[in-house]
Amino acid sequence: MSETNADDIDTADGAAEQAESGTANEAIMEATYRALCTHGAADLSVQAIADEFDKSKSLIFYHYDSREDLLSSFLAYLLENFKNRVAASEITDPVTQLDGLIDSLLYGPDDNESFQIAMLELRSQAPFNEAYREQFRRNRAHVHRLTARVIDCGIDDGVFAPVDPDYIATLLLTMIDGARLQLVVLGDETILDTTRAAIDDRLDATLFAEQRPSD
Amino acid sequence: MSETNADDIDTADGAAEQAESGTANEAIMEATYRALCTHGAADLSVQAIADEFDKSKSLIFYHYDSREDLLSSFLAYLLENFKNRVAASEITDPVTQLDGLIDSLLYGPDDNESFQIAMLELRSQAPFNEAYREQFRRNRAHVHRLTARVIDCGIDDGVFAPVDPDYIATLLLTMIDGARLQLVVLGDETILDTTRAAIDDRLDATLFAEQRPSD
């Protein structure tokens, strides 16, 4: 009984261990979220994350090599959460899909101000940290592809005018980025609604251009 | 001779001292710029600024109470530089003025990447630092007013359609903010030109709406 063999565990209980590892990982990610909200990203230590975690700091280092590895994995975790939310929404109509996507990106699933500040701090570290920058690029590329695909579906369905989906996706994401930056930096609460209205105007003038009555 | 009276200097040489103080201040601001480029904003010390300055650290503290006071004054100095550049441009035609303003805000007078990163770090500190946030707000408000005024002049001159200048200014500055964020965070060099093209499209569809031949 006391001579359990690590290799046996690996093979016989592989699936159970994997599930447990997934649970541990989820718990680490949730602890990271709470630590980012409490301490920000600029000087966040693994110890501060461990303090939010009911297991030991060594378990964190069992899963992640370093603070950088943990935080870039956290960015990947945010992308997975985003994918899961989109997959769960079951909407197939491109107009409603695009509308929901814009709202979700602009207003966010999470209006926790401390978290938004921490994410801006992490962004400001990206130029020095290739792991963060690479993951921010992956997240952006995914959101961009998804937005362009929804626009493309709408064009195929004949509900959107034949625009360049990549160009419109870039434009939308740039406006959303700018609005969220102003919200966090200047504390300007009105910017999200103004930007939403501006996006609607822009889409009316392009995606729905052929449906509009001419002036 | 050796008994110079401080009060006499203040009155008799007031103008000269003021000019010298202006020069010292300009030298401190230039040292701050160089220190931000070298060290970033996150952990910038007054000593690091003094190291870029050919006079003593105590002269910096003679002019500024603290690191926060110095850095928020630096943000005000950036605004003054911007005002001087705009005032020096002597362009009075609203179309050319708006075009130059957008280029100057989007591409910046300074394409030094290290400086842009430092400014993003300083932005990410704004939510915790009322002095930075307040100065960022002042800078934004000035640029917004200037943009809206140029649009307003164009409407008065009959070269722009009767749009809401504040709304268009907000939209333009939001797009520019978003583009510059992507440039710094993701290192995406193409975003500035794409955004410039998108802004031109947007202006064609609104400001120049009445001048466009209908489809």
State which of A35, A64, A93 marks the end of a domain.
A64
Task: Answer whether A140 sits within 8 Å of B179, measured CB to CB.
Answer: no
Specify the residue for token string 């001292």.
Answer: B17
Tens digits of pLDDT across chain B (215 residues): 334 444 444 444 556 666 667 788 999 999 999 999 999 998 899 999 999 988 788 889 899 999 999 999 999 999 999 999 888 887 789 999 999 999 999 998 777 889 999 999 999 999 999 999 999 999 999 999 999 999 999 999 999 999 999 999 999 999 999 999 999 999 998 999 999 999 998 888 778 765 544 43
Task: Answer whether B198 sits within 8 Å of A167, measured CB to CB.
Answer: yes
Do A108 and A191 sit in the same domain of this protein?
yes
Segment A115-140, tens digit of pLDDT:
999 999 999 999 999 999 999 999 99
DSSP summary character for residue A55: S
Q: Which residue of A has its CA nearest to B212?
A: A215
Query: Which CATH number is B178's domain given?
Result: 1.10.357.10
Do B73 and B119 sit in the same domain of this protein?
yes
State which of B15, B44, B64 marks the end of a domain.
B64
CA of A123, closest CA in chain B: separation in Å?
6
Q: Domain limits at B22?
A: 1-64
Q: Which residue of B has its CA nearest to A39?
A: B128
> Residue A215: what residue type?
D
Specify the residue for token string 């570290």.
Answer: A125
Do A57 and A158 sit in the same domain of this protein?
no
Nearest alpha carbon to residue A140 among B122, B126, B183, B193: B183
State which of B64, B94, B111 marks the end of a domain.
B64
CA of A157, closest CA in chain B: separation in Å?
23
> Residue B204: what residue type?
D
Specify the residue for token string 């649009």.
Answer: B151
